[in-house]
Structure 1
Amino acid sequence: MMRRAERSAPGQTLSSVSHSLSRRLLRSTLVLALGLGLLISVLLVVQDYRQVAAQPDRDMQALAGLTLEPASAIVFALDSKLAEELLKGSLKQPAIQFSRISLNRGERFAERQRDLQSGALRPLSDSLFGRTREYRWPLYAEQLAEREELGELLFVVDTFHYGKVFLERALLTLLGTLFYALLLSLTLLWVFSVQVSRPLFSVIGSIAQVDMDCPEQARLHEPQGHADSEIGLLVRLTNQHLQAIALTLEQLRAAESSLKQYSDALESKVAERTLALSQSVEQLQQAQSQLIESEKLAALGGLVAGVAHEVNTPLGIAVTATSVLSETLDSLRQQFTAQTLTSQQFSDLLAQASDSTQMLVNNLQRAARLVRDFKQTAVDQVSEARSQFQVEQVLRALIASLHPETRKVPVEPLLECPSGLQMNSLPGVLTQVLANLILNSVRHAFADQAAPLIEIRLQEQGEHVLLDYRDNGCGVPESLRERIFEPFFTTKRGSGGSGLGLNIVYNLVTRKLGGKLEFSSQPGQGVHFRLSLPRELPAFGA
């Protein structure tokens, strides 16, 4: 009864979460966004404050440049009417509260003024910029032979005109920061809820509903879209444990029936793997024949023996594991028939059979993977069909198929490619280009290099893909750099070099792929090939 009570309350399990990850993320994001936003806002406000504080000086200096000369002429002519008109015009500048022209004797000649502006922000503006500012300039008589001071021009600026604009901008900046922080937090909360919280609650609900009395029928539901995420991995591992429990219970309840089913399934599995391996070897031999017939892909012919040797190792282990497994099953049958089989012997034989089966499966999978990678590379290079393909997937399959050659150095090419990079081009031609570059480095570059290195980097640049290939080999002397793309030019003719590898690379890049190829090298510093390829193959390259 207690177990049923615990299983009947999955809702309580979900509602009992007192420290939700979503709420934690919301609080952390909100605090971080607010702090960062306020810091940026303060910096912007401080910068704006400095500019606004200096703006009256600039405005008055510009106004003085316009009014000093006419004001001097008016004072020299003692024309008070024109002086009044001049000061009246100066009040068109909204920041000026008072203007006056006085004579040299201190006598007021003309003046204009208006009331100070008012507003709710006035006290704060006065504390930041002061209430008013005075600007004085002497007036000189330029008409006389000797420069003589005639009087003084005075402007009094009401700083609230500038302070009000500054404070309104500062308020908008702070409000925008708060709105941005809130919007960012809500967006992240929604994303986190959709991507993490809901799938986790789904998994927790599935776990809470598992009937421990019948675990062999319990399986957790994998949330949609999380097959390759940590949540999907958690579900698969849990299901694997539930499957293991189910198998154990089934074996204990019916040992004889389980043994027979296990033996039949194992024999069928071995037969299927053996058939798949035989078919893979036949396909490999067919790929070998096709590669030998093509001169431009002659470099792949030497790889077949290496791949066959790579396949032979796991195949030999699989044969050994099959022999051990057969002996174990024979022993188990004999003891069972003679009714001398004990629980310990059954457990030991079952463990031995399980280990042999795992070894057999692992090595057959390894052999199949080697054959699959090499087959994919061979098919790609033979075919010149245009298609949409994942660049990283194609190039990694190529590098895996070249392992029999690269391990002779030994060197492991390093590939850096943006995840999800796609091209609509000729994957076979691209793999042939890269294979020729790698084989060229393997056969010519590393004779005197203790730590060989090959680096392949790809990046997107608009509508093109840049492929950067480097090695740290012996490099190419300056006298030979202009000839490396010539047909039949090689420095290893006595060692089997045909001189066509880099010529084929150049022709494939420029003609088939519609791209550009640049080469540079220094003796002792390796080679550097830079390829610029269109992501969408033009019509002429199809």
Structure 2
Amino acid sequence: MVDKQGAHVIADETRAWANLLANNSAQYLQSDNGQVRLKNQLKKLITTPLINHIHVYRTNQDDSIEYFSSYNRNHNYPPISDRISEIAQLSTVQHQANHLELIVKITQAQETIGYLFIQTSLLEKQAFTDRLVYVLLAFLLFSLILAFGVAQSLFNNINQPIDSIVDELGQISRSRNYQTQLSKLPIKELDVLTVNINVLLLRVEKHINSLIEEHQHTQTKNKALEHRLSSRTDALKESNQELLSTLEKLHEFQGQLVETEKMASLGDMVAGIAHEVNTPIGLGVTASSLLADKLNEIKTAFEDKTLRSSQLKKFLNDGNENISIILRNLERAAQLISSFKKVAVDQSSVENRTFNMRDLINEVILTLSAKIQSANVIITMDCPDDLIINSKPGPINQILINLILNSIYHGFDGLEQGNISISIMNLSDQIHFNYRDDGVGIDKTMKTKIFDPFTTTKRGSGGSGLGMHLVYNLVTQALGGHISIEEENKPGVSFEITFPVELAAS
């Protein structure tokens, strides 16, 4: 049966059709051969399957009312008796079992010249609604199957290669065999990641071998020096010369250590990104599995003819929620991989390009999100949304990464929470960059040599002492700018960085 709202809509349509047909029938009531012409005209005008019967009655001069013409929908709807005796009762829409009935006046020059009776079906609208529901259910079922297939495919194509990278890196870390190369992957973005990791591993192996050789060489030199000092004084000049030569080589290796520091920060990001990507993908897989189970339950109930409307409604609500979870987590994983790729490419490049400064900083923060969250650090940024410049994103990336990691490893060591603020301003074709944290700060004796190589508060605990030296070199040499540390006695540390840029049209 049609619900009340549907019946109300059909009643409105019935009144509209009745008034339209009454207006068109007036001219035929007083014309010759009007009955036949009106019947033909009704067949032309009625284009909806909603109308079952039409009767047209004419009013005579003696005020009597007689049947004039009619319309029947088809042979399945045979003529019905006239409703002349029910004109007063049917002046408003009357609801019957499966249809509505109504009689309206036919007027001409504000004079009633006849009446039009109309009967409309309540079943047509219900049949159309039923067909629409079946189509929507079929479309929803197809969409759910398609979503499950896409989610399963993405899981197989993304999660498995990432697990392979994590397993291989774990084996390399345990065996310390850095000559091992990660195998190629079918996904372009992940393959770029493996290529960069392989380059990192080769450089680490080369650096370790160089340090071993240099250490052995230095030991040999020292032994020779001790022997010559004990044997004769003249060997002192020769030994001093050899020491000077060794010092020059150490300066050369300093550049290699700086480069290794860059790659070490990239390695930290690799581990963080691998951990971060696993979480949204795992949630997406869980939601997909749950959705598949619910779908099987609905399918079983449908086939057993025990499906209830409440069960279907709950399935639709749960399905929408699971699909939202899958989409959100897949978009999160794609965003993490995309940001890491951009940061990794920029970090290995010193070429100029045009970029949005705020987007660049957001990509670095997103790439380091694992370490930022584990250290319970809150980062606030004040940077114009439309600050588009032409500069070197690689050095800027490396500066940000080193400053943030320096705050996490040194500034917030032993603290439960930390805050970092980054402020960017454009002043006369120069970028003014203020970086501040509220950590433990830097001792006064360290501030004067903070940018010197091998200066660290973590000596013997993994600190190389090259992080801030690398930042200084990147600001002054790569970007042609200036960096200074604030001398105020406030909690934490503050760095002021300026470097020239070329503004690009936004």
TM-score by structure 2 length?
0.53
**Aligned-residue offset at 1:531:** 1.0
Does the C-alpha gap of structure 1 residues 349 and 473 become closer, same or farther in structure 2, counting only changes over 3 Å?
closer
Question: Is residue 2:479 matched to residue 1:513?
Answer: yes
Aligned position for 1:263: 144
Match of 1:380 among 315, 321, 346: 346
Q: 1:478 to 1:251 in 2, by over 3 A?
A: farther
Amino acid paired to 2:465 = G
- Residue 393 of structure 1 corresponds to 359
SS for the counterpart of 2:424 is strand
1:490 paired residue number = 456
Preserved contact between residue 388 and residue 424 of structure 1 (Cα < 8 Å): yes
Q: 1:64-463 counterparts in 2 under 5 A?
A: 252-254=133-135, 257-271=138-152, 273-274=154-155, 275=157, 279=187, 284-290=193-199, 293=203, 295=260, 296-447=262-413, 449=415, 451-463=417-429
- Take 2:335 and 2:352, find their aligned partners in 1: how far apart are those partners? 25
Once the two structures are TM-superposed, the CA of residue 423 in structure 1 deviates from its matched residue by 1.6
User: Quick check: 1:315–1:363 contact (8 Å CA) kept in 2?
Assistant: yes
Cα gap change, 1:430 to 1:334, in 2 (>3 Å):
same
SS at match of 1:388: strand
Tell me, yes or no, if the aligned pair for 1:476 and 1:527 is still in contact at 8 Å.
yes
**Distance (whole Å) between structure 2 residues aligned to residue 440 and residue 356 of structure 1:** 40
The whole-number CA distance in structure 2 between the counterparts of 1:510 and 1:470 is 20
Shift of 1:310: 1.8
1:494-505 mapped onto 2 (5 Å cutoff): 494-505=460-471
- Structure 2 SS opposite 1:412: strand
What is the rounded CA distance, in whole Å, between the counterparts of 2:195 and 2:323 in structure 1?
Answer: 30
Q: Please give the secondary structure, in 1, of the residue aligned with 2:453.
A: coil
Match of 2:439, as an amino acid?
G
Cα drift, residue 464 of structure 1: 0.6
1:466 aligns with 2:432: yes
Mapped partners of 2:486, 2:199: distance in 1: 34
Aligned residues: 294
Q: Which residue of structure 1 aligns with residue 255 of structure 2? A: none
Unaligned runs of 5+ in 1: 4-247, 538-542
Measured after TM superposition, the shift of residue 524 of structure 1 is 5.9
| 2:380–2:420 CA contact under 8 A, matched in 1 | yes
- 2-structure distance, mates of 1:423, 1:309: 32
- Secondary structure class of the residue paired with 1:455: strand
Deviations 1:427-472 (A, max 9, x none): 1111111111111111111235555221111111111110011122
CA 1:452/1:301 → structure 2, altered by over 3 Å: closer, same or farther? same
Q: Is the 8 A contact 1:477 1:523 kept in 2?
A: no
CA displacement 1:251-308 (0-9 Å, x = unmatched): 7142553244223422343145333565465555455445554512312312322222
Residues 451 and 344 of structure 1, relative CA distance in 2, 3 Å threshold: closer
Q: Normalising by structure 1, what TM-score?
A: 0.50
1:528 Cα deviation after fit: 1.9
Give the Cα–Cα distance (whole angstroms) in 1 for the partners of residues 488 and 463 of structure 2: 22
CA distance in 2, matches of 1:489, 1:261: 63
Offset of 1:476 from its aligned partner? 2.1
Shift of 1:323: 1.2
> How far apart, in 2, do the equivalents of 1:459 and 1:249 lie?
62
- C-alpha spacing 1:488/1:251, structure 2 compared with 1 (3 Å): farther
Q: Kindly tell me: are residues 414 and 250 of structure 1, through their superposed partners in 2, closer, same or farther at Cα, counting changes over 3 Å?
A: farther
Amino acid at match of 2:405: L
CA distance in structure 1 between the partners assigned to 2:477 and 2:131 by the alignment: 64
Question: Which residue identity is paired with 2:146?
Answer: A
Q: Deviations over 1:194-236 (max 9, x none)?
A: xxxxxxxxxxxxxxxxxxxxxxxxxxxxxxxxxxxxxxxxxxx
Moved more, 283-292 or 325-334: 283-292
Q: What is aligned with 1:476?
A: 442
Q: Residues 259, 449 of structure 1: CA spacing in aligned structure 2 closer, same or farther, 3 A cutoff?
A: closer
1:273 partner amino acid: L
CA RMSD of aligned residues (A): 2.9
Give the distance between the partners of 1:496 and 1:354, measured in 2 at CA.
Answer: 49
Shift in Å, 1:521: 3.8
Q: Distance in 2 between matches of 1:249 and 1:376?
A: 52
> Contact 1:423–1:535 at 8 Å: present in 2 too?
yes
Instruction: Write the distance in 2 (CA, Å) between the matches of 1:250 and 1:309.
Output: 49
CA displacement, residues 364-405 of structure 1 (integer Å, 9 cap, x when unaligned) = 222222222222222221222210110000011101111222
1:445 touches 1:473 (CA, 8 Å); kept in 2?
Answer: yes
The one-letter code of the counterpart of 1:385 is E
